[in-house]
Chain A
Amino acid sequence: MKFIAAKKIPDLLGLLARDARVWAPLVPEDSADTLLFLPWEPGAEVDLERFTQVSPKKLVMPGSEPLFSFSYSMAVDCERLEIGDARGVPGAGGASDADGAGEAPGAATVLFGARACDARSLTVLDALFGLEPGEAYNDPLYRARRAALTVVTLACTSCDAACFCSSWAEGPASTEGSDLILYPVEGGYLARGVSDRGEALLVLDIWEESEQPLPELAETDRVPFGTLNTKLLEIFSDMDFWERATERCVSCGYCTYACPTCYCFNIFDEMRGSRDGERCRSWDACMFYLYTLETSGHNPRPTIAHRYRNRIGHKFSYYPENQGTTLCTGCGRCIRGCPVGLDIRDVLRGAGER
Chain B
Amino acid sequence: MSTIPREGIKASEPLRPEPATVLDVITETPNIKSLRLAFDDESLMQSFSFLQGQVGQLSVPGAGEATFAIASPPSQREYFQFSVMKTGVVTTAIHELRAGDRVAVRAPMGNTFPTDDWKGRNIVVIGGGIGMAPLRSLFMYLEDHRDDYGGLQLIYGARTPKDVCYLDDCRQWEAGSDIDFVTSVDT
**Residues of A with Cβ closer than 8 Å to B?**
67-68, 70, 72, 74-76, 80-81, 83, 133, 138-141, 267-269, 271, 274-275, 277, 279, 281, 295-296
Contact = CB atoms under 8 A, between A and B. Distances in A.
Interface of B: 11-17, 19, 59-65, 85, 87-88, 91, 93, 96-98, 100-104
Which of B60, B62, B64, B103 gathers the greatest number of chain A CB atoms within 10 Å?
B62
Nearest to A134: B11
Enumerate the 10 nearest inter-chain pairs by beta-carbon distance, A residue then B residue, closest first.
A72-B61, A76-B100, A81-B102, A295-B87, A70-B61, A269-B64, A67-B15, A81-B19, A74-B101, A268-B64
Nearest to A77: B100
A67 B104 contact: no
Contact of B62 (A76, A138, A269): A269
9 contacts: A70-B61, A72-B60, A72-B61, A76-B98, A76-B100, A81-B103, A138-B11, A139-B14, A267-B64
Contacts of B19: 81, 83
Contacts of B98: 76
Contacts of A281: 15
A1 B55 CA distance: 56
Given A70-B61, A279-B15, A296-B87, 8 more contacts: A72-B102, A75-B101, A76-B100, A80-B102, A267-B65, A269-B62, A279-B61, A295-B91
Nearest to A268: B64
Chain B contact residues, majority secondary structure: loop
Given A267-B65, A268-B64, A83 B101 contact: no
B91 to A, nearest CB: 8
A75 B103 CA distance: 11
A74 B102 CA distance: 6
A270 to B, nearest CB: 10
Contacts of B15: 67-68, 139-141, 267, 279, 281
Nearest to A72: B61
B61 A269 contact: yes
A279 B97 CA distance: 20
A295 B85 CA distance: 9
A139 B12 CA distance: 9
A141 B97 CA distance: 31
A76 B17 contact: no
Contact of B61 (A81, A133, A296): A81
Nearest to B97: A74
Which of B12, B13, B15 gathers the greatest number of chain A CB atoms within 10 Å?
B15
Contacts of B104: 70, 81, 83
A223 B17 CA distance: 43
A140 B13 contact: yes
Which of A76, A281, A296 gathers the greatest number of chain B CB atoms within 10 Å?
A76
A68 B14 CA distance: 12
Contact of B14 (A76, A140, A268, A277): A140
Contacts of B93: 74
A86 to B, nearest CB: 8
A277 B104 CA distance: 14
A83 B102 CA distance: 12
A202 B116 CA distance: 57
Contacts of B91: 295
B69 to A, nearest CB: 13
A121 B26 CA distance: 48
B62 A277 contact: yes
Nearest to A281: B15
B133 to A, nearest CB: 13
Contacts of A70: 61-62, 104
A5 to B, nearest CB: 45
B93 to A, nearest CB: 8
Contacts of B60: 72, 74
A269 B63 contact: yes
A138 B14 contact: yes
Contacts of A269: 61-65
A55 B11 CA distance: 29
Contact of A133 (B11, B100, B103): B11
Given A74-B101, A76-B100, A83-B104, A68 B62 contact: no
B85 A83 contact: no
A68 B16 contact: yes
A48 B5 CA distance: 48
B64 A83 contact: no
B12 A140 contact: yes
Contacts of B102: 72, 74, 80-81
A181 B86 CA distance: 55
Contacts of A67: 15-16
Contacts of A271: 62
B155 to A, nearest CB: 20
Contacts of A268: 64
B49 to A, nearest CB: 18
A138 B106 CA distance: 14
A295 B62 contact: no
